[in-house]
Amino acid sequence: MKKVAIITGASSGLGADFARQLAARNGLDELWLVARREDRLVSLAARQAVASDHPRLLPIVADLTKNGADKIRARLESEKPELRLVVLDAGFGRFATFEDSDKEELLGMIDLNIRALTETAKDALPYLRPGSGLILVASLAGLGPMGNIAVYAATKAYVLSLGVALGEELRKRGIKVTVLCPGPVSTEFDTVANKGAKNTMRGTVPSDKVVERCLRAFDRGRRFAFGHWTWALAPFGLRLVSRGFLARAAMKIMR
pLDDT band for position 233 (cuts 50, 70, 90): low
The pLDDT of residue 193 is above 50 = no
Domain of 224? Answer: 3-253
pLDDT band for position 110 (cuts 50, 70, 90): very high
Ramachandran sector of residue 196 (left: φ over 0; alpha: ψ -120 to 50; beta: rest): left
Instruction: Check residue 248 and give its pLDDT.
Output: 64
Strand order in the sheet with 224-225: 56-61, 30-35, 3-8, 82-88, 128-137, 176-180, 224-225
SS3 249: helix
- Compute how many other C-beta atoms are within 10 angstroms of the C-beta atom of residue 223: 15
Taking Cα atoms as reference points, which of 64, 67, 30 lies closest to residue 45? 30
Total count of domains within the chain: 1
Higher pLDDT, 146 or 60: 60
Catalytic annotation on 152?
yes
Catalytic residue among 32, 152, 189, 224: 152
Instruction: Check residue 192 and give its pLDDT.
Output: 47
What is the distance between the alpha carbons of residues 66 and 246, in angstroms, rounded to a whole number? 33
Handedness of CA 112, 229, 95, 250 (dihedral sign): positive
Torsion angles phi and psi, residue 98, rounded to 5? -60, -40
Between the alpha carbon of residue 155 and those of residues 69, 108, 151, the distances in Å are 18, 11, 6
Find the mean pLDDT for residues 174-203. Answer: 70
Find the mean pLDDT for residues 228-243. Answer: 64
178 in Cβ contact with 136 (< 8 Å) = yes
Global pTM value? 0.86
- CATH assignment of the domain containing 41: 3.40.50.720
